[in-house]
Chains A and B, each alone.
Chain A
């Protein structure tokens, strides 16, 4: 099957293509060279005047795993407002803050997204995360596995195990969890909470282990780098949501010896303590630090106003914030000497000083970070807002008049505390394509996605150029997934299933002896039963694992 996409205006930042009119050819799911003249084109789409980009990639979205399912179970009232009936093509489900898996897949595709990455896969819950992602249609999936409060790592660090042994354990965990990368959440803090500690600073020892959060960050960022895993250590820092936490964030950037790191939902970690209410924007300092530190990238975790639910591995912070639950109910869990979770519904209000300032801080960060290759568009779905609000967020970034208009209606005290109105920057289509495609693919380590070069997987989104960017990005004309037309005029026309991206870094199999003994002594399952095999992902007959390349192991870089 040879498809020709004719005459669209192409934005392909991976190849420096910025609004050039060109043809794209697709054969058997891949983008190919222009065929010889005599070859028959099976299908042609005239895209004159249309905007063409690679399919968008959400590099941080909570779409699968235990905490998402707790959120779904806990919030029937939220689902009742957004029922989704089945059609000839699509299964039924429901939407809004914590949508059903099927609806999640359809809606991402209908917005022009072709991949999403679950950032908080607990090793002990990895199979569930993959099961849920396996029931998420059309888009590709993947996850980052959570380490850093797991007792085995903390034990190894306390015992001053060689970094190479730790690297083997990290690589083993990535393989066993079928992950694309490693995430650390409140490094060491989830463990500390189990010993009744409520707060942990970067240089404070864990109550049981001789390990500080900074040690965990250094060890894991180095491990990820030395394993050649393309996605840098994905960090949800200490002290989420706490006024003054910008200092912790700045220290985190400085404290990892230059190893590459990604700071996630950085908006929630960019707060100062100025002003009457001792809550202020640290966006300028944080953005300046990101601009300076080339080893750092970040996604924003923008909040948008309305009802949502926060779901996080950081039960220490979630327990602290549970008093703000709206509606008033919440779940916190300690999990398997491995991690934790906290699920707290939340309503962001535009007339609330803190919420309005959070909104402004997120946008300030977007606009003050110079390099769109190192800042990413997320709402930390659903923590800041559901992913379905991305078109609105894109409009806020691309349209200064619209942005200032919304800003002028927010809580007045928060307006006085923000420089947002003085920032003139408007994102271009090219920059949006970097943030949501080329940059995201590069950051996650997807070699054949996020671009439109020959050999790329044919994940392609076509929009009608519209000065109202919210309308434009909400309803693409066409979305192709692996070369198949899956969405037309913002509606699913074909249901495919997508694959699961994973990396498989090398490790010394000898480490399994130690891990297995640890499981036998302290766990309640056997080591082998924790592993998510390729078969677990493919046995429903739809899913499959796409192995992405690792850069090869580097030895002793410190």
Chain B
């Protein structure tokens, strides 16, 4: 058993600060339980682990309260609500199981803070499906990586280090020869796409709002259609033709996007251009999509919701059985229409993700460092998964789940325990 009271060094720590869930970090703990990432760090993991350990106590209407009173008050608010909403949902698997249980009991809606982006992928799955791959396959097989509308590294800092410019690969490929193409976006950071021997990636910039046209054009070219325009979104058609040829000639191309970055109306159609193009490529060669996600536990929320309710996020138990509607049950829509009469906001991984400002009874289950702009009726600081308690998290590729470790003692309660207590009190 680890002795959390003493200073120590923990190896092979899993980092839940982004969807890559790197599990090779070394984290040092001092006698005061402050943590410091000492190897395999990145800017996001440093922020996540190195925050000073804060003590924080529950509050009711801004006044410090004990946990039991805060739980009782939260249960009262939930019990009085006709249409409660559990949103945010920044937690790991066990916390999410508790969310689903209390949501079922209280006839609530569940939605995640990143659903505006993530739902775009869900809609593609529900409309046409897709052909995708996972990180270890990318690491060993990719020969052409096409990055659509993102730099990847802002949200997933170690992606190139771990999955593209890795030294070893299983099938005799010299990874330094891998080709990287950035398609879309302006002034993005393409430095991580430079190969270890200094080869520059190809960059085909366009404004994000032209991605629908650009992806449609590329898809058409892959299908062998002829384009009469000489440019699309500022990219020369000849460049897109070249890219289409490279995709057809690659042995294992990977086309990646981050749904949250595809900020255009009906972004799901743009993503569908990518995924249907990948399907077409597979008629003759191998190609895979790689949706990048998994921020703030969005994979955990969608996975657990799918097996417990049968549906991903944006599911309502209002009628006593689950119903799913990607538009109607969005946090924004429910708050704007006034349908929701109590908001339960969860963000245990990231203190910066604050609840939307509303004139409703609000309960916040927050990271202890959360600096609130608007004091909710009840604030319950909860332990941070992967630091203060164990847990399980799903990676960006939606297949691999990793155990999160406890790294120090914490007086804070786990979200799952708090929610179970609230459910009991209903």
Contacts and interface: CB of A to CB of B under 8 A. Distances in A.
A337 interface: yes
Contact of B403 (A92, A93, A125, A536): A536
A343 B129 contact: yes
Contact of B309 (A94, A332, A536): A94
Contact of A330 (B122, B129, B310, B311): B129
B422 to A, nearest CB: 16
B262 to A, nearest CB: 19
B302 A92 contact: no
Contact of A72 (B105, B134, B141, B311): B311
A69 B307 contact: yes
Contact of B310 (A79, A194, A335, A337): A79
Given A74-B125, A131-B401, A196-B285, A336 B310 contact: no
A523 interface: yes
Interface string B129-173: 111111111011100000000000000000000110000111100
Interface stretch (B27-35, B193-201, B313-321, B351-359): B313-321
A104 B155 CA distance: 37
B252 A194 contact: yes
B323 interface: yes
Nearest to B133: A334
Contacts, number: 187
Interface in A325-341: 325, 328-338
A509 interface: no
Interface stretch (A48-56, A80-88, A162-170): A80-88
Contacts of A193: 286
A472 B57 CA distance: 58
A43 interface: no
A108 to B, nearest CB: 15
Contact of B320 (A69, A85, A319, A521): A85
B341 interface: no
B305 to A, nearest CB: 9
Nearest to A64: B307
A127 interface: yes
B308 A102 contact: yes
Given A69-B303, A131-B93, A529-B403, A86 B137 contact: no
A45 interface: no
A524 B136 contact: yes
Given A72-B307, A101-B307, A319-B282, A92 B128 contact: no
Contacts of B137: 194, 334-337
A154 to B, nearest CB: 10
A536 B126 contact: no
B73 interface: no
B136 A73 contact: no
A100 interface: yes
Interface stretch (B228-236, B332-340, B369-377, B392-400): B392-400
Which 8 A-B residue pairings sit nearest by Cβ, starting from the closest? Answer: A94-B310, A83-B321, A85-B320, A329-B129, A100-B310, A85-B321, A336-B136, A330-B129
Interface of B: 12, 14, 21, 23-24, 93-94, 97, 101, 104-105, 122, 125-137, 139-141, 162-163, 168-171, 251-252, 282, 285-286, 288, 302-303, 306-312, 317, 319-324, 390, 392, 394, 398-403
Given A92-B322, A334-B134, 7 more contacts: A86-B317, A94-B321, A100-B309, A125-B400, A193-B286, A329-B127, A529-B12
